[in-house]
Structure 1
């Protein structure tokens, strides 16, 4: 069983997948920062300086003993108040759309590169052009002369 596991791990696909997951997680953090720190503040400024992550609806009472602001989503959520955080959802959707668009651009670029490489390979391996008829005739004459001489 241990040998099977080692063979499974040693396959290139598994290692490629592991590298992809690690890079994907790091890329997700970059995209999250891009969304939270660059795009959402600009969108918030366009819509009057509003932070989307602060948009929420309370669905029930605030827990007893809570002394924080009733407008602080993070504090209310931490206190255990039932909240509908649609602003945070909007932020996550925008984050997903950015990530999906970037992945689309990467896949599109790779597909174009692969198509170009396949086309260059096909052009490089094209069969040679057929010899002209007079060249073929001259070769036949040469071969007949060689055969007549007995060479």
Structure 2
């Protein structure tokens, strides 16, 4: 039983998942600090108010703190923008630069079942797995 447990713990995907969780938590802390300590003060310098938590209204002695909700929405949008511009865009550019093979420039045809573009030589659609049979070669245009 202990041997099975040890094998379970040392499985590659479990270790990879644990590493991803730890790295994700650390990255989340870095992004949160960036937003809190740099981006939000910049917004406050431009807009004048960095914190909306004091905004509220009362109806029939019930307090609605919509400022906290505004803070949460603003924080989400800022974090999403920071992740997109400082992580997603640079990683996509790096992956594009590291691409070793040129894209294949081949003639395509439409799958009759799902209307996706597939190579002429394909006999089965890669998207919907429908058998499409062989097609005549494309006519060369002059």
| TM-score w.r.t. length of structure 1 | 0.51
Distance 2:50 2:97 in 1: 41
Counting strand residues as a fraction of each chain, which structure ranks higher?
2
Unaligned segments of structure 1, at least 5 residues: 63-80, 120-151
Give the counterpart of 2:83 among 62, 87, 99.
99
Whose Rg is larger? Answer: 1
Q: 1:56 aligns to what? A: 55
When the two structures are aligned, how many residues end up with a matched partner? 99
With over 3 angstroms needed to count, the CA separation of the structure-2 counterparts of 1:53 and 1:92, relative to structure 1, is farther
Cα distance in 1 between the residues matched to 2:18 and 2:90: 19
**CA root-mean-square deviation:** 2.9
Provide, for residues 48-106 of structure 1, a one-character-per-residue CA deviation record: whole Å limited to 9, x for no partner: x21144363245647xxxxxxxxxxxxxxxxxx65222331212321233124434135
Contact 2:41 2:50 in 1 (8 A): yes
Work out the CA distance in 2 between the residues paired with 1:55 and 1:92: 19
- Change in Cα spacing, 1:35 to 1:19, as seen in structure 2 (3 Å) is same
Aligned-partner SS, 2:49:
coil
Structure 2 residue runs without a partner (length 5+): 102-142
Please name the residue that 1:17 is paired with. 17
Which residue among 96, 107, 111 is the counterpart of 1:112? 96
Distance 1:32 1:18 in 2: 21
Task: Specify which structure has the bigger relative contact order, considering alpha-carbon pairs within 8 angstroms and separated by 6 or more residues.
Answer: 1
